[in-house]
A and B are shown apart, each in its own frame.
Chain A
Amino acid sequence: MTALLEARGLMKRFGGVWALRDVDLRQEATETLGMIGPNGSGKTTFINAVTGHLALDAGDVLLDGERVSGRPTHRIAQAGMVRTYQAVRVYGRFPVDENLRIASLPHYERVGRRQPLEGVEELLARLGLADKRQAPAGSLTLFEQRRLELAMRLLARPKLLMLDEPVAGLNPGEIREMIAVLKELRRTCALFVIEHTMKVIMELADRVIVLVSGEKIADGAPAAILKDDNVIRQYLGSVRAFRP
């Protein structure tokens, strides 16, 4: 069976540092994948590389069995792999509605006929933004902006949504709400989530990849990853580590 996302032998180095070193990965259309690892371990580089923001030194990326590595970002986005950014990115000076209109235009252009903002009301209701449509996006709270970002991505009708730290900067209450939003979103498209907040990974991910210094050191169910000695030693840390 073809995987939704397949990465084969991804290599990327910045000067003398390996950001990605022979990374292999498969994601099925039915699963949510999590990626964890220390700062600088290559997680964001991974997203940058597979979505075409960054040229790979070696390796192939396949989306639905089709090779997408080497294509420009917008073509990969059109093929169905869409990303968010660690620092929230919306058109801050434009109203929410205009943000959504711009985000929906490329898809609208491809399929024709449909109204640019078809289904947007239901989408905003799902994301709790229904009463914010006229507000400039920059005036929204961070949590609202993060949800707007999700709404904008969904209008592109993605197959796979790559989320780079979707709860960064949110408070514990908001994190809980965001987890609920993302859980519900899994019914619409596949998710790939980078997070430091283990709660998010534990609740959302069916499988977790652990990246350290650009190398994949573990790949398995969340519960198993938590018990993996190698992962504990290199990333999670543990009180046991301090015992002789």
Chain B
Amino acid sequence: MTDRLRVPRVAGVVLLVALALALPVAVADRRFYAFIVGITFLHVLWTAGMNLLSGFTGLIPLMYAGLAGIGAYVTVNLVMSAGVSFWLAMPLGAVAAAVVGVVLGLPALRLRGFYFTLSSLVIQSALTLLFVYFPRFTQGDTGISQIPAPTVTLPGLGTAALTGVWFEETLAVAAMLAVLVVWRVTRSRWGAYLVAIREDDVLTEALGIDVTRFRVIAFFISSLLAGMGGAFYAHYVAFVSPRSFDVLTSLNIWLMVAFGGRGTIAGPIVGAVILAPIPYLLQDLYLYKDIIYGVLIVLVTVFLPAGVWGSLLPRLRARLGAAAPARVPGKEFV
């Protein structure tokens, strides 16, 4: 049925991977652009995790940035205070974020849709306060600066800091892994269950599907990616403060997912690639940059309610003569 899409899809993925790996090298001499590329990869990673919950499971976790913060602070403290290697600290930070994410996701077992979003907003505010009021671990509003770059030890070549183009390439790989994980999960039986839960959790449970279990799994994976992104962010930017992980960051990541097309794999990538660089590219237009950002979002919401990719995909399929997708993206703005 979708055989006719196979070749264009594989070609597209190969092209995208090649582009992602080539881009940091292409702009390696201009650090400013290289940094924007790195930040964009980080947001691709974050949107993949956000999409698993907001796009596929139908729950908007506005504490997402807070979870990224937990991943970041745990990792940074392990590295800077305990001297643990980043490559051990980062997974630990991600797991810490995932565990906290599962616990904080428990209200979702009772609250649906908008009500869950509200409760997650409160949780995000509490996490932000937590970051401010535990300066022992976060240095409060001052923030932690001079976070060292991760080091890599290669046999025979000695130890070197992961900097410059190598860091961007690492972020590219991390982002691709995140997208791959979300793709695998959503194309599996679990993915079918998550979408079923999004559409009608009562019916799904009545069909004999363990709704609670799959919600928890979705929260775990999503929060794991949030924390992983947070750890990379901290060591890439070399500075974190509670502001880095406040509710605006959550909203921004969610916006990128909705902008690109929630509930699709490529949509959030499109959203991150278009929206993440804007604040940096438009720095000279600082008076208008928020207006431009806002207008762009309003235009897409009004004219492409399923997101840029979410709206183009059906047309693309029609042009290629493939059948309609089995899963229709949502009408409501999830």
Contact = CB atoms under 8 A, between A and B. Distances in A.
Contacts of A156: 207-208
B326 interface: yes
A91 interface: yes
A82 B208 contact: yes
A72 B193 CA distance: 17
A93 B330 contact: yes
Contact of B203 (A89, A101, A134): A89
A105 to B, nearest CB: 6
B203 A90 contact: yes
Interface string A52-79: 0100000000000000000011100110
B331 A93 contact: yes
B326 A91 contact: no
Given A93-B331, A94-B326, A102 B205 contact: no
A76 to B, nearest CB: 8
A183 B127 CA distance: 58
A94 B198 CA distance: 12
Interface in A110-127: none
A83 B203 CA distance: 10
A98 B192 CA distance: 9
Contacts of B206: 51, 53, 73-74, 77, 82-83, 85, 89
B200 interface: yes
B290 interface: no
B327 A101 contact: no
Given A89-B203, A91-B196, A94-B199, A106 B327 contact: no
A9 interface: no
B210 interface: yes
A166 to B, nearest CB: 15
A209 interface: no
Nearest to A77: B208
B22 interface: no
Nearest to B213: A74
Given A73-B205, A98-B326, A105 B331 contact: no
B106 interface: no
A140 to B, nearest CB: 15
A93 B328 contact: yes
Contacts of B203: 85, 89-91
Contact of B207 (A92, A93, A95, A106): A106
Contact of A91 (B199, B208, B210): B199
Nearest to B189: A105
Q: Please classify how large the interface on chain B is, using the bins under 10, 10 to 19, 20 to 34, 35 or more.
A: 20 to 34
Contacts of B192: 101-102, 105
A152 interface: yes
B297 interface: no
B209 interface: yes
Interface in B36-55: none
A144 B202 CA distance: 21
Contacts of B330: 93
Given A93-B330, A93-B331, A97-B326, A106 B196 contact: no
A117 to B, nearest CB: 12
Nearest to B330: A93
Contacts of A92: 199
B199 A74 contact: no
Interface in B303-332: 324, 326-328, 330-331
A90 to B, nearest CB: 7
B149 interface: no
A160 interface: no
Contacts of A134: 324
B211 interface: yes
B327 A98 contact: yes
B113 to A, nearest CB: 15
A8 B210 CA distance: 27
Given A91-B199, A102-B192, 8 more contacts: A74-B206, A77-B208, A82-B206, A92-B199, A93-B330, A102-B209, A106-B207, A107-B208
25 contacts: A73-B206, A74-B209, A74-B210, A77-B206, A82-B208, A85-B203, A85-B206, A89-B200, A93-B199, A93-B328, A93-B330, A94-B326, A94-B328, A95-B326, A98-B327, A102-B193, A102-B204, A103-B207, A105-B193, A106-B208, A106-B209, A107-B208, A134-B324, A152-B207, A156-B207
